[in-house]
Structure 1
Amino acid sequence: MSDPDGAADPPTPTPPSPSPVPPPAPVEWPEDGALTRDWVAAFTATLDWCSRRLPPDQLPSVLSADFVRRLLLAAAGVLHREPNIVRVDPRPDQAVVVVGDVHGQLHDVMFLLRDAGFPSEERIFVFNGDYVDRGAWGLETLLLLLAWKIYLPNRVFLLRGNHESKYCTSVYGFEREVMVKYKSQGGQVYRKFLRCFEDLPLASIIAGCVYTAHGGIFRGAVVLPSKRAKRAKKGHKYVASSAEDSTTLKLGSLDELLKARRTVLDPPWEGSNLIPGDVLWSDPSLEKGLSLNKERGIGLLWGPDITQQFLYTNNLKLIIRSHEGPDARDKRHDLLGMDSGYTTDHQVACGKLITLFSAPDYPQFQASEDRYNNSGAYLVLSPPDFATPDFHSFQAVKPRPAANPYYDFEEVIDSDEELNLGAMDTGNLSS
C-alpha cells in the first residue's frame, strides 16, 4: 500500500534471529557517569535480549533498581535545565528527525532509530511524547531514549506526552508494568519515573519555524481581579477557570507557555495548570475557532483559523503534533485516518498542521480480532528551510516477542476519549 502522497510502500523490518547466547551481565553505570556510543549500543542490545528471553520479573537481574534510579536521576538533571519550549537550532548541514507516539513498542523504536540514522552530529531527534503505556516495554523504551538524551543532550530532545502522567500510567499499564518488573522496589522506581516526567519540556521550536507539541494548541490565561485585589482595589493576578466556556477562550502565546508550571502531573487541570493540560491533550478540528474538548473532557479543539492565527502570530510555517493513533481517528470521521502514520489536518495560508504517530500495528493489545495494522511514521526536516517534511512510513517489527498486557485492554478505552479520574488506582504507590 502506498501512502497518500504516492511514496513507496513502507519497509517491513526484519527482526534479528535469536541466538543461543548466555544472559548478559548486569548493566553497570559508567564510573565517571559519561555515556558513550558504544555503551548506548550495548545497552540497546541488552534491552532487546531481555525483552525476548527474560521473564519480566527477572529484569532486575540485568537492570537493577539502583541502575534504573541512577539513569533516571542523570536524565532528570539534564531535562530540568531545559525550558518549557526547547529551541532546536540545527546547523545548515544538520537534519532533524521528529518522532510521534511510540507507546512502549521497543522493537519498533529500535528499528526507527536504525532506519532514520542514529542521533549524531549530523542528525538531531525530537521525540513528541507518549513513550509508555499500552505496549509491553514502556520501561525499556523510555530508559533507552533517556540514555540517548544523556549521551547527546543537544542532539536528542524528549518532549512530554499526556501519558507521562500519574493518571494515564495508572490506567493504561505503565504503573503496573513497573510493579511487575520490580516487585517490592516497584513503588520507589515508579516514583522516580514520575519525577522524571515532571522535568520533560512541553514543546519545541525547530529552526525558528516549526512548532512541535504532543497535543498542540493551548489557551491563554484569563485575567481577572483576585479577591485580595478587590479588597485593596488594586493589582491583578492570572486566573484561568476550568469552567470557562468557549466564548471566553483565547489563543495562548508562546510567552505564556514558557511561564507555565510544567511540574504538574495530573488532571483536573485548573488555574495555572490549564496551559500544560491543553498542550498535552488538545486535538484539531475542521470547525472554526477554539472550543472545549468535551469528547476527552480535557484540553481544546481548534480549527484551521486558529492554526493560521498561531502560525502568523509566531512567524511559523508548520505545527507538528501527535496524540492520535488509528483508534482515535477511527472515531473522528471529520479527519483523515492514521493508516500511514501521519496526516495533514490543516493547510492554511501560513503553512500546515500535521499529526504524526510512530507506533505501527497499534495498539499492541487490542480487544477486537480485527487489527488496525497501521504503519508508523517519522518525518525528516532538512535544510535550507526545515519546514518541508519528508515522511517515512514503516511497518511493525514482527513477530513481536510474546508478552502479557499490563492493563485490561478490553475494558479501558483505547483512544483516551474519556477522562475518568475514578479509574486511577493510587494504592500501588504505598509499596
Structure 2
Amino acid sequence: MLSESEPPAAAANLPSATPPPPSSDEDFFSSVSVASTSSTSSPSTPIPSPPQPHPEVPISWPEDGTLTLAWVTNLMLAFDWSSKNLAPTELPSVLPVAVFDRLILTGSKILHKEPNCVHIDSELGLGKDSRVIVVGDVHGQLHDVLFLLRDAGFPSDDRFFVFNGDYVDRGAWGLETFLTLLAWKVFMPNRVFLLRGNHESKYCTSVYGFEKEVLAKYADSGKHVYRKCLGCFEGLPLASIIGDNVYTAHGGIFRSIAVTPAKRAKGKKNRKIVSNPDVTALSLGSMEELLKARRSVLDPPWEGTNLIPGDVLWSDPSMKPGLSPNKERGIGLLWGPDCTEDFLKKLNLKLIIRSHEGPDAREKREGMEGMDQGYTIDHEVQSGKLITVFSAPDYPQFQATKDRYRNKGAYIILEPPNFDIPVYRSFEAVMPRPKVNPYYDFEDCIDSDEELDLASMAT
C-alpha cells in the first residue's frame, strides 16, 4: 500500500480491468515533470515529447450510440491536436455541433438522474482492488488534465475518479476539458463522477471567460452550445461519499435550514400551514437536507430558502472556530476546526476533501496554508482531516508570467480497505502551452472570486 511519503506507482503499474488505449494514442501528452509527495524533492527534467499521431477527425457519433475507449481516447487526442494546430474557431471541424449535441444530451441525462450526493461504495463495485482518484479545480487547463488522466491511470473497473468541479473559466480550453470528462462519464458512468463547482454557473462563466470561449469557438452556434452546457451544469451532483468514510465537495460543508411552522390565521379553516425558514441561526446540515436541496439552478442563491447548494459550492474553511457567513465571497460559509469535527462526527466520516481555493485565494487568507504543492491539510481534528486539493498547476494561465504562482497541481489517491488515508500526487504544468488569447479580462477580474456582483446572479 502506498503511504504519504511514497509516490504512487506509475500509471502503467496500476491494475486495470479496462485495456489501455491503442499504442497510436499513447503519445498525445506533452512532456511534464512530476513531483513526488515530498515537498522537498526537486522535479525531474522534462523529456521532449515524441511527434503526435493525427486523430480521426471530424469526430462522429457512434452508430449505436455507445461510446468506447477508442472513441474517448480519440476525442482526447483530437482536442490536444487541435489546440496546437488549429485556430479556436476551427473546433467545429473537429467536433461538429451535431456530435456535441449527442454527447451533451447523453451526459446530461445521466447526471440529472444522480442524487445530490453520490455514494461510491460496494454496490457500485468499490472493493479491495479499487482506487479512487479525487481531483480538484482544473479551470480549462486541458493539457494538465490530459496528463493527470494518464499519470493516475485512465478510469477502469478498479479505478474510480471523483472530480470536484471548476472545469471551466480562466483557462482557454474549458469546453474541451469539460467535454473530455463528460465523455469519460458517459463511457463509464459508475466509475467517473463529476461534481459541480461554483464556476459551473451562469454568473461565473459570463465573467471569467467560458461564455466568450464558447461563442468564439462555435460562432453562430455558440449560444446554443453555451446554453446546452449550462443545462448540463445544472445536473451536476453537489457532493460524494466515498467508501462511507470520505465526503468530497467543491466548497465544503453546509448549514441546516431550520423551519418553524407559521401560525394558522383565525377563522380560516383548512388553510395550509406554510413553514418559515429561519436563516439567521447557523448550524450544520444533515445528509437528508443535502439530498433534498434543489440543485437545478443556474446560479445557487445566496439568500432565501435554497441555501445549501451555495454553501456546498462556495464555502471556505477557517482557523477561527465557529460557523459564520462567508462575507468575503458574499455567499456560503466560513467554518472552523470545531465544525469540521462536528461534521465528521455527525455524518460518521473520517475525511473531508474539498477544492475551490487556488494559490491566489490562499495568499489572502490569514492563518491558512498556501497551495504551492497543489494541496493543503487545513484541519486535523480528533475524528479526521480536512484537505483542500487544487489540480491546476502554474495558475492562473493568463496572469503575467512574473505574477503567476508557479504552483504545482495535485490529485489525491484513496486506497482500500477504508479509502480514508490520502496519498498526495503533486505535478508540474505541461509546458509549453499553446499560444492563445484569453477570453476574459484577467487584469480586471478578481482571481479568487471575491466581491461578487450578487445583484446580477439570477436565482
Range class of TM-score, shorter chain? over 0.9
Q: In the alignment, which residue of structure 1 is the partner of 2:277?
A: 239
Deviation, 1:274, is 0.4
SS at match of 2:324: strand
Deviation, 1:67, is 1.2
Question: Is 1:40 equivalent to 2:72 in the alignment?
Answer: yes
Distance (Å, rounded) in 2 between the aligned partners of 1:402 and 1:165? 27
Q: In the alignment, which residue of structure 2 is the partner of 1:385?
A: 418
Contact persistence 2:251–2:315 (CA under 8 A) = yes
SS at match of 1:160: coil
Q: CA 1:15/1:125 → structure 2, altered by over 3 Å: closer, same or farther?
A: farther
Contact persistence 1:326–1:374 (CA under 8 A) = yes
Letter of the 1:312 partner, please give it: K
SS at match of 1:169: helix
Q: CA 1:240/1:27 → structure 2, altered by over 3 Å: closer, same or farther?
A: farther
Contact persistence 2:300–2:309 (CA under 8 A) = no
Per-residue CA deviation, residues 26-48 of structure 1 (Å, 9 max, x unaligned), is 10010111111111111111010
Question: Is 1:27 equivalent to 2:65 in the alignment?
Answer: no
Letter of the 1:146 partner, please give it: L
Counterparts in 2 of 1:74-223, with a 5 A limit? Answer: 74-89=106-121, 90-223=126-259
Distance (Å, rounded) in 2 between the aligned partners of 1:292 and 1:377? 29
Contact persistence 1:362–1:373 (CA under 8 A) = yes
Gaps of 5+ in 2: 1-33
Alignment counterpart, residue 299 of structure 1, candidates 324, 332, 349: 332
Q: CA 1:240/1:39 → structure 2, altered by over 3 Å: closer, same or farther?
A: farther
Distance (Å, rounded) in 1 between the aligned partners of 2:45 and 2:158? 26
Letter of the 1:98 partner, please give it: V
Q: CA 1:261/1:52 → structure 2, altered by over 3 Å: closer, same or farther?
A: same
Deviation, 1:239, is 2.1
Q: CA 1:275/1:17 → structure 2, altered by over 3 Å: closer, same or farther?
A: same
Q: CA 1:369/1:168 → structure 2, altered by over 3 Å: closer, same or farther?
A: same
- Range that drifts further, 218-227 or 128-137: 218-227
Distance (Å, rounded) in 1 between the aligned partners of 2:331 and 2:48? 39
SS at match of 1:393: strand
Alignment counterpart, residue 341 of structure 1, candidates 361, 370, 374: 374
Deviation, 1:66, is 1.5
Deviation, 1:122, is 1.7
Q: CA 1:367/1:267 → structure 2, altered by over 3 Å: closer, same or farther?
A: farther
Letter of the 2:224 partner, please give it: Q
Distance (Å, rounded) in 2 between the aligned partners of 1:228 and 1:49? 66
Q: In the alignment, which residue of structure 2 is the partner of 1:328?
A: 361
Deviation, 1:65, is 1.4
Question: Is 1:255 equivalent to 2:288 in the alignment?
Answer: yes
Aligned length: 419
Q: Give the TM-score taking structure 1 as reference length.
A: 0.92
Q: Sequence identity, in percent?
A: 65
SS at match of 1:396: coil
Letter of the 1:138 partner, please give it: G
Deviation, 1:409, is 0.2
Distance (Å, rounded) in 2 between the aligned partners of 1:29 and 1:91? 33
Q: In the alignment, which residue of structure 2 is the partner of 1:428?
A: none
Distance (Å, rounded) in 2 between the aligned partners of 1:10 and 1:205? 33
Deviation, 1:81, is 1.3
Deviation, 1:18, is 4.9
Distance (Å, rounded) in 2 between the aligned partners of 1:403 and 1:103? 15
Letter of the 2:136 partner, please give it: G
Contact persistence 1:307–1:348 (CA under 8 A) = yes
Q: In the alignment, which residue of structure 2 is the partner of 1:271?
A: 304
Alignment counterpart, residue 388 of structure 2, candidates 329, 341, 355: 355
Deviation, 1:240, is 5.2
Distance (Å, rounded) in 2 between the aligned partners of 1:375 and 1:218? 29
Q: In the alignment, which residue of structure 2 is the partner of 1:311?
A: 344
Alignment counterpart, residue 429 of structure 2, candidates 384, 392, 396: 396
Q: Give the TM-score taking structure 2 as reference length.
A: 0.87
Q: CA 1:281/1:240 → structure 2, altered by over 3 Å: closer, same or farther?
A: farther
Deviation, 1:267, is 4.5
Contact persistence 2:201–2:298 (CA under 8 A) = yes
Q: In the alignment, which residue of structure 1 is the partner of 2:101?
A: 69
Per-residue CA deviation, residues 115-156 of structure 1 (Å, 9 max, x unaligned), is 011100121000000000000000000000000000000110
Q: CA 1:203/1:13 → structure 2, altered by over 3 Å: closer, same or farther?
A: farther
Per-residue CA deviation, residues 296-351 of structure 1 (Å, 9 max, x unaligned), is 11100000000000001111000000000000001113100000000000000000
Alignment counterpart, residue 284 of structure 1, candidates 307, 311, 317: 317
Q: In the alignment, which residue of structure 2 is the partner of 1:225?
A: 261
Deviation, 1:14, is 4.9
Letter of the 1:141 partner, please give it: T
Per-residue CA deviation, residues 47-89 of structure 1 (Å, 9 max, x unaligned), is 1011111101111111111211111000011111110000011
Letter of the 2:370 partner, please give it: G
Distance (Å, rounded) in 2 between the aligned partners of 1:11 and 1:154? 35
- Range that drifts further, 177-186 or 58-67: 58-67
SS at match of 2:386: strand
Alignment counterpart, residue 402 of structure 2, candidates 352, 357, 369: 369
Per-residue CA deviation, residues 69-111 of structure 1 (Å, 9 max, x unaligned), is 1110000111111100000112111010000000000000000
Contact persistence 2:137–2:356 (CA under 8 A) = yes
Distance (Å, rounded) in 2 between the aligned partners of 1:227 and 1:410? 53
Distance (Å, rounded) in 2 between the aligned partners of 1:424 and 1:406? 20
Letter of the 1:193 partner, please give it: C
Alignment counterpart, residue 53 of structure 1, candidates 72, 85, 107: 85
Letter of the 1:334 partner, please give it: G
- Range that drifts further, 10-19 or 73-82: 10-19
- Range that drifts further, 368-377 or 316-325: 368-377
Q: CA 1:42/1:3 → structure 2, altered by over 3 Å: closer, same or farther?
A: closer
Contact persistence 1:240–1:274 (CA under 8 A) = no
Q: CA 1:106/1:227 → structure 2, altered by over 3 Å: closer, same or farther?
A: farther
SS at match of 2:307: helix
Letter of the 2:308 partner, please give it: I
Counterparts in 2 of 1:410-421, with a 5 A limit? Answer: 410-421=443-454
